[in-house]
Amino acid sequence: MTDMQPESELYTKLKVGAAASKVFPPGRPANVYRAARPAAFGPDLDAAAACARPVPVADEVVPLLFRPRPVRRDSQGAKPFFLMAGPNVIQSEEHIFKMCRHIKSVTDDLGVEYIFKSSFDKANRTNVKSFRGPGMDEGLKVLDKVKHAFDVPIVTDIHEPWQAEPVGKVADIMQIPAFLCRQTDLLVAAGKTGCIINIKKGQFCASSVMRNSAEKIRSTGNPNVMVCERGTMFGYSDLVVDPRNMELMRDANCPIVADVTHSLQQPAGRASGSSGGVASGGLRELIPCVSRTCVAVGVDGIFMEVHDDPNSSPVDGPTQWPLRHLRPLLKELIDIGNATKGKETFEIDVSPFREGEETP
């Protein structure tokens, strides 16, 4: 029988709100992990009172392939949000370096915590003939080079359990694609690496599903998990973003990320060539609208695919944000993030209103 210990023993400090943090004991650092407040949390909640739920002790559940380690820049408590951004897929080493250099220049100037994103393999393309990327071996070499050249943490995605170990040696954050958010073997393999795991909510899933997906990561002893909103199917070839999901997913007790580009896809929504095939379209012009909404609601991180020439991108061109417009959009989002109280709990008093009662 697996020994258990109260979750409160895992933390030396727990603060709830915009500057929330969880500090783990030696060997289990917090990484990007933030204590996003669930509905039941209040501003003065004591760690011992908050954390009655037992969790497995890591080494007594499954030995980790790699010990959890902090990312190079700690996005914990990033104000007002951290940014995961880059081109959808690795097109070339030269292009990756160009994109990271320009995006990092913008985020450094604006004071936004930055994590570089790109994929080595797009395994879920609509068409079997579509470009997928350089593959894992070559792609990881490129990502490792950009990581060290620009001193940035890396996020990239995996599609099969066997990819977790080699990817975990390079990536600081490992991403689980939305279509695979419930795949237990994949989630467990990712969790064992000790990386931070960003799980995208399936387009077909209720927000409550993400609580169980996050627990699959934690079952390996790895507490470093985030969940990501990326839209919900609305008919066959469209997605909508339901802002309620970004609040309801808080019950997973982890940071909430909003994918503001993929959430505007129109899956298999446009004709492709003369063969009668289909490809995914998108509504790039609505990226600012969705981004403003997500930041106002109080998400902890923004996921955004950015490209210097979106119309030439071999993958998801219609939903990649133009590099030249990144700075003005981020400046606006920072202003919204600094103004909103979306990360705070609104205390609702439903008792009868009395004459003469003072309102806040």
Contact between 2 and 58 (Cβ < 8 Å) = no
Which residue among the candidates 22, 216, 316, 343 is catalytic per the annotation? Answer: 316
Closest-CA residue to 336 (of 235, 228, 258): 258
Tell me if residue 124 is catalytic: no
Instruction: Give the active site residue among 15, 22, 122, 216.
Output: 122
Report how far residue 348's alpha carbon sits from residue 345's, in angstroms, rounded to the nearest whole number. 9
What is the identity of the amino acid at 311?
Answer: N
Strands (E), 72-153: 82-86, 113-117
Active-site option among 15, 22, 31, 88: 88
Q: Are 209 and 202 in contact (CB under 8 A)?
A: yes
122 annotated active-site: yes
Residue 127 bears catalytic tag: no
Among 209, 217, 157, CA closest to 185: 217
**Site of tokens 């004709």:** 271
CA 181 vs. chain centroid, Å, equals: 12
Q: What is the DSSP string of 128-144?
A: TTS---S-HHHHHHHHH
Cβ pair 222, 174 in contact under 8 A: no
- Catalytic residue positions? 88, 122, 316
